[in-house]
Homo-oligomer: A and B are copies of this chain.
Amino acid sequence: MSEDAPSLRPRVVIVGAGFGGLQVARGLADAPVDIILVDKHNYHCFQPLLYQVATAVLSPADVAWPVRHILSRQDNVTMLMAQVTGVDRAAQALITSEGPIPYDFLVLATGATHSYFGHEEWAPFAPGLKDIQDATHLRRRILVAFERAEASDDEAARRRLLTFVIIGGGPTGVEMAGSIAEIARHALAPDFKRVDPRTARILLIEAGPRLLPVLTEPLSAYARRRLEAMGVEVLTGRPVVDIGADHVELAGGEIIPASTKIWAAGVRASPAAQWLGVETDRAGRCLVGPDLSVPDAPEIFVIGDTAAVSDPAGKPVPGIAPAAKQMGDHVAKAIEARLAGSTAPAFRYRHDGDLATIGRNSAVVKLGRLELTGFLGWMFWGFIHVYFLIGTRNRIAVALAWLWNYVTHQRAARLITGEPEVSEAESKKPPLRQAS
């Protein structure tokens, strides 16, 4: 059969090569279908380690792997790099930058992006962390702040430049705060001559009563103690009411001058629901049926962070990689069941646990009744993440980068790349001190 001859096999179009989308493609490896996997990038990004790209521990290539290569041995998959703009449900076609793609089954696994709770004007001042571009952008902002502080002669400007505010006390916020504290205290400290990076102020602000609310109270309290021991100021029960180029304002009126703000507080689903014209929950996630298909369209499935799904106890399924993978497995089986003329069972989420790393030698892990903290939790966290990385090369590269960082305290990827973006307040600088 020539490559371009029409196929008689049903076509499954999957949008998104994240944890969920990849799992669907792999689950259909032996099914009599033709799969087209569409993504705007050519790589699968391992989001749980993105914060280490943002804080210069890892390079982008360490946490990303070409989708083509992951699926190169699976003959029934074609990968297409394209931007999706909509779904023509009447014509059963996905609308993309490379033209329409007809489908027999459609799986939308397009993930989530940042949500500023109606304050989209905060986005340029407090970027979030969802993809490789976000990570290198944050890396630039963090490293540039130290550079500008070194160049500044104004004490107030220096303080502002050396203040880092992380908004949101979930795993990403905790991990970013810990990692920025470490880069300031150790990796950068010996290299600056005019400012002392160890004096950097790092604030982690959470609107709710405690950090890491998915974990137990003792684990939350442990995470807080560890962060405070590393020099992070943790503020809980303090909603943010305003963010500008050079400040964060908390409820109650306290204003914190800060050049670098990082948003780790909220996400909303990708626009899959708009493409389909289906109902959503408040976070923009598609309301799906028990088998994860869309109401009135059994051939369309929505999975991962862009689907609103509850576990058997009625609790919302969290937006984490294992949940997306389980949904991907389910949809692959559901499509096979349909092709075999039977109906798909209902999806049942199984929660394995939660974990977050805080810094060198400390992490919190909860797996069923097992709780780990400290060095043991940290080693467990590391092994799990290396294990789930895709590709031998990335596992070796990440393990070596961590070993290097552990032994030397150095960060291997301290590069400021991308276009400079100077905030208005920082662009006017007094001259350096005059030589005598």
Q: Which A residues are closer than 8 A to B by beta carbons?
A: 3-4, 6-8, 10-11, 34, 36, 41-43, 59-62, 64, 66, 68-69, 72, 75, 77-83, 97-104, 132-133, 136, 143-144, 147-148, 150-151, 153, 188, 190-194, 393, 396-397, 400, 404, 408, 410, 412-417, 420, 429-436
Contact = CB atoms under 8 A, between A and B. Distances in A.
Given A7-B435, A80-B150, A133-B417, 8 more contacts: A10-B435, A43-B416, A66-B414, A72-B190, A78-B193, A80-B432, A99-B431, A393-B408
B432 A99 contact: yes
A412 B59 CA distance: 11
22 contacts: A4-B194, A7-B435, A10-B435, A34-B435, A36-B432, A43-B415, A59-B62, A60-B415, A60-B417, A69-B191, A69-B414, A79-B193, A80-B151, A81-B147, A81-B416, A98-B151, A98-B432, A102-B435, A132-B415, A393-B404, A393-B408, A397-B400
Nearest to A34: B435
A191 B8 CA distance: 23
A3 B435 contact: no
Nearest to A102: B435
Q: Which residue, of A7, A83, A102, has the highest number of chain B Cβ atoms within 10 A?
A: A102
B6 A191 contact: no
Contact of A59 (B42, B61, B191, B432): B61
Given A192-B68, A435-B104, A61 B429 contact: no
B4 A433 contact: yes
Nearest to A92: B435
Contacts of A10: 435
Contacts of A191: 66, 68-69, 72
A8 B435 CA distance: 8
A111 B308 CA distance: 55
B193 A3 contact: yes
A147 B99 contact: no
Contacts of A4: 153, 194, 433
A191 to B, nearest CB: 4
Contacts of A432: 36, 80, 98-101
Contacts of A400: 396-397, 400
